[in-house]
Amino acid sequence: MKSGKEYRESLRKLRPEVYYLGEKIDSVVDHPAFAPHVNAAALTYDMALAPEFEELLTATSHLTGEKVNRFTHIHHSHDDLVKKVKMLRAIGQQTGSCFQRCVGHDGLNAVYSVTYEIDRKKGTEYHRRFIELLKKVQSEDLMISGAMTDPKGDRRLSPSQQRDPDVYVHVVERKSDGVVVSGAKMHITGAVNSHGHLVMPTAAMKQEDADYAVCFYVPVDTPGVIHIFGRQTNDTRKCQCFLDQGNVDYGMVGGEALIVFDNVFVPWEHVFMCGEYEFAYELVERFATAHRQNYGGCKTGLADALIGATYALAQVQGTDRASHVRDKIVEMVHLAETLYCCSIACSCQGYALPAGSYMADPLLANVTKLNVTRHIYEIARLAHDITGGILATAPSENDWKDPRVGKYVDKYMRGVAEVPAETRIRLIRLLESMTCGTALVESMHGAGSPQAQRIMIERRANLEHKKRLAEKLAKIGEQPLFVC
C-alpha cells in the first residue's frame, strides 16, 4: 500500500491534460489550487498505514489474499459495508472536506457485480477483464475516479435523440484492438488527482441507445482525455491569504472537473460494457446505491468537525452557556447522528449479489442521501445562527496584518478577552469554508439530486404490499362477522 508521499510522487509521474482558469497546469501536486484536494486524498493513504485506523482503512483482497487499502476492496460481507461507513466518518473528521476516493470505490464495486452478470447471460469476458484491472488497482493502490454523470444536453431526449451526440459518452468506432469513444463526464470528484477514470453509463438505456451503453477504464494521461477544473466558492483564496482559506490543508470539497473524451482509444482489455444496454440501469442503480450509502458516513464526519468549530466559536464569543445556543448544538448533533444511523442501517440490511459481492439496501441508502439534502443544510443553518453575521463580513488576513488598520481588526475581532482575535478569525474562516458555498451544493447534488432519490424510493417502496397490509387490517372484501 502507498503512503501519502508515494501517492504524491506517483501523480508527478503522470502527464494529464488539465486546465484551470484558462491556464494549462503542469503539476496538480505542486499547484496551490489543487494542493488541498491532493492532501485530502493523500490522507486516505497515510491513515491506512496508521495502527489506530488500520482496521477501518484496510481489508484482505479476495483475489490475492493480500492486505489492501479498503478503497480498492470489493465488499463481501455486512462487516465490509459497515466498516466502509465507519471509515468514511473517521476520514471526514480528519479532513473536514471531501477526500474523493469513495466515488471510484463505489464504481469498482458496481462494475464488479454487473460484469459478472453480463458474462453469465451474454458469454462475454468483461468480468475477467475487470478482475485483471482490479488486481492492478489493488497492487498499485491506485486512486480511481468514478465518472458517471454526462452533460445530458436536452433532458427531454434520450441519448440517441440528442442533436449533439457527444452530450453523452458513446462509442464512435469499434476496432479489432479496442474502441474509440467521444463525449464528456461532468462534476467528477477527484478527477485531476486520480490515476485513472472508471467511466460508466449515466442512465437506463434502450436498444437505440446501445452505443451509449459503454463502460471502460482509462489512465488520466491517455491522449484525448482533457480535464477542465471547476470553480469553487472563494477558490482563489488558495493562491492568496493563508488565514482566509479556512481549511488550509484540505480545502472545501472534492475538486470536481469536466472530463472531455476527444476520440479516445480504449483497448478491449479495459472495456467492461459495450452495447449491452439492458444492463445500464442495473449498473447505475448499484453505483448510486453504493454512493448514497456513504453520505451518512462522510457527511457525519464533516459534521463532527463543523459542530466542534461551532462549539469552540461559541466559547470564544462568550455565548456557549446560553441555553438556546446549547440547544441548537444538541440539535446539530441529533441531526448528524440520525444521518449516521441511516448509513449503518442500509449497510446492515445489505445483501449478497450473484457475483458474491455485497450491496447496501437500496431503499435505505436512498433515504440516507435524501436526508442528507435536508439535514446538512439545517446543521449549516444552525452553525450560521450561532456564529452570527461576522461569518460573512470578517476583515481579511491582509487587513489584520496591515500596519495601519491591523490593530483595529485585532481589537474588534476579539470576543472573550483572554482569547486572541486570531483564534476567532480562524474558526470563522473554517466555518465559512465548510458551510458557505460549494460544499453545501455537493450535499444536495452529489450522488444524484433529491428527485433521483425520490424516484428510487418510490420504485423500492413496495406500495402494493403496504396497501395489502391496510386492506387486511380493514378487512376489505370480507363479510362482517356480526351486525350491530
The set of catalytic residues is 98, 102, 189, 256, 291, 295, 298, 442
266: CB partners within 8 A, 6+ apart: 178, 179, 180, 181, 216, 217, 218
Cell 417502496 belongs to residue: 461
326 burial level (CB within 10 Å; 0-12, 13-18, 19+): middle
Is 215 in contact with 273 (CB distance < 8 Å)?
yes
Rg (CA), the chain: 24
Asked if residue 94 lies in contact with residue 47, where contact means CB atoms within 8 angstroms, the answer is yes
Count Cβ atoms below 10 Å from residue 49 Cβ, excluding itself.
15
Amino acid at 162: Q
Give Cβ neighbours of residue 228 (< 8 Å, ≥ 6 apart). 19, 20, 257, 258, 259, 260
Residue 389: CB partners within 8 Å, gap ≥ 6? none
CA distance 46 to 420: 33
Classify the C-alpha dihedral 65-70-72-75 as positive or negative.
Answer: positive
- Beta-carbon contacts of 203 under 8 Å, excluding residues fewer than 6 positions away, are 150, 159, 280, 281, 284
* Grid cell at residue 406: 491591523
Q: State the first-to-last Cα distance of the chain, in angstroms, to the nearest integer.
A: 76
State the Cα–Cα distance between residues 131 and 397, nearest whole angstrom.
51
Tally of CB atoms within 10 A around 398 = 14
